[in-house]
């Protein structure tokens, strides 16, 4: 579904991605871990060209993402950010509907139907009329997941979706992500929620210093990492 090939990205003198390649099969979930500053967010942003890679290619469902097709390709990629990025002046329903109306140009009726469907799926069927400020952080993040899902994406990217949340609110968001993974969504998730990583991930990818150091199934990578640097990182976050 996703093929990332030899992505390089630098900011001035700082080479942040030094040749990243990975693949994500349809229906697979991979969890990306690594120290702060290792390039995880930059990688996700390069995948949907929010940041333009200096070198390398991204293919989604066999089609290379280019400047010419970026709007169409980006509409197929759901992106969930750490800080929710909801419009505070819009209701939950309008937050979920807006991209379907503006980008997908669905009818009002169809967009409304899809929005209610996805709000039900994340357990917020009763919050359609609320404003973001009336919701907890966990609820706001679930709205932002519903908003992404309502676009029928081929791929979902999550960048530390629970790290802005109080610990007691992470569980409800992790549960929604776990359900999505179980339902066969194709997902690339930056997260240090080890319970989620163990349960949901087909593979863990450990990044450091702009390189992929090691990747493998969670039971292997967590219990017997091959690289000393992976072991050192796991000791810090465990």
Q: Token pair of 222, please? A: 């967590």
Q: Does 41 participate in binding ligand ADP (rule CB under 6 A)?
A: yes
- Of Mg ion, ligand ADP, none, which one does residue 223 interact with (CB within 5 to 8 Å by kind)? none
Q: Does 39 participate in binding ligand ADP (rule CB under 6 A)?
A: yes
Q: Does 37 participate in binding ligand ADP (rule CB under 6 A)?
A: yes
Question: Could you tell me how many residues make up the chain?
Answer: 238
CB of 104 to Mg ion, least distance (A): 28
Q: Does 41 participate in binding Mg ion (rule CB under 5 A)?
A: yes
Please identify, among the stretches 39-47, 115-123, 148-156, 223-231, the one whose residues bind ligand ADP according to the rule CB under 6 A: 39-47
Compare residues 34 and 132 and give the one whose CB is closer to ligand ADP: 34
Beta bridge partners of 20: 7
Q: Token pair of 188, please? A: 């690339």
Pick the binder of ligand ADP from 38, 48, 144, 230 (CB under 6 A): 38
How far CA 115 is from CA of 10, 20, 90, 150, in Å, comes to: 38, 35, 14, 6
| Cα 139 from Cα 143, distance rounded (Å) | 6
Compare residues 69 and 163 and give the one whose CB is closer to ligand ADP: 163
Count of residues that interact with ligand ADP, criterion CB under 6 A: 11
For residue 65, the Cα-to-chain-centroid distance in whole angstroms is 18
Q: Token pair of 102, please? A: 């503006």
Q: Does 11 participate in binding ligand ADP (rule CB under 6 A)?
A: yes
How far CA 156 is from CA of 104, 123, 135, in Å, comes to: 17, 19, 23
Q: Does 163 participate in binding ligand ADP (rule CB under 6 A)?
A: no
Nearest Cα to Cα of residue 143 among 126, 166, 157? 126
Q: Does 42 participate in binding ligand ADP (rule CB under 6 A)?
A: yes
Please identify, among the stretches 33-41, 54-62, 75-83, 131-139, the one whose residues bind ligand ADP according to the rule CB under 6 A: 33-41
Q: Does 36 participate in binding ligand ADP (rule CB under 6 A)?
A: yes
How far CA 43 is from CA of 4, 55, 99, in Å, comes to: 10, 12, 24
Q: Are strands 203-208 and 211-216 parallel, antiparallel or unpaired?
A: antiparallel
- Of ligand ADP, Mg ion, none, which one does residue 38 interact with (CB within 5 to 8 Å by kind)? ligand ADP
Q: Does 162 participate in binding Mg ion (rule CB under 5 A)?
A: no
CB of 164 to Mg ion, least distance (A): 12
Please identify, among the stretches 36-44, 51-59, 70-78, 122-130, the one whose residues bind Mg ion according to the rule CB under 5 A: 36-44
Strands lying side by side in the sheet with 211-216: 77-80, 155-159, 187-190, 29-33, 203-208, 211-216
CA torsion sign, 88 to 90 to 93 to 95? negative
Provide the binding-site residues for Mg ion, judged by CB under 5 A.
40-41
Q: What does the binding site for ligand ADP look like in residue numbers (CB under 6 A)?
A: 11, 14, 16, 34, 36-42
């Amino acid at each position: 579904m996703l093929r990332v090939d030899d992505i390089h990205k630098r900011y001035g003198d700082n080479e942040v991605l030094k040749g990243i390649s990975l693949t994500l099969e349809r229906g697979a979930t991979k969890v990306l871990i690594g120290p702060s500053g290792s390039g995880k967010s930059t990688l996700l942003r390069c995948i949907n060209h929010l940041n333009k890679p200096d070198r390398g290619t991204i293919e989604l469902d066999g089609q290379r993402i280019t400047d010419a097709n970026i709007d169409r390709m980006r509409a197929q990629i759901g992106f969930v950010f750490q800080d929710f990025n909801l419009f505070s002046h819009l209701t939950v329903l309008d937050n979920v509907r807006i991209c379907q109306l503006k980008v997908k140009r669905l009818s009002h009726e169809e967009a409304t139907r899809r929005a209610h469907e996805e709000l039900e799926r994340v357990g917020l069927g009763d919050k359609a009329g609320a404003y973001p400020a009336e919701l907890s952080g966990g609820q706001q993040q679930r709205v932002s997941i519903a908003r992404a899902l309502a676009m029928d994406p081929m791929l979902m990217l999550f960048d530390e979706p629970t790290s802005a949340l109080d610990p007691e609110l992470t569980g409800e968001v992790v549960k929604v992500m776990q359900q999505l993974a179980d339902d066969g969504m194709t997902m690339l998730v930056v997260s240090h929620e080890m319970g989620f990583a163990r349960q949901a991930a087909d593979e863990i990818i450990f990044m450091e210093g702009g390189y992929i150091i090691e990747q493998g199934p969670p039971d292997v990578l967590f219990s017997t990492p091959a690289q000393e640097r992976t072991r050192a990182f796991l000791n810090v976050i465990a």
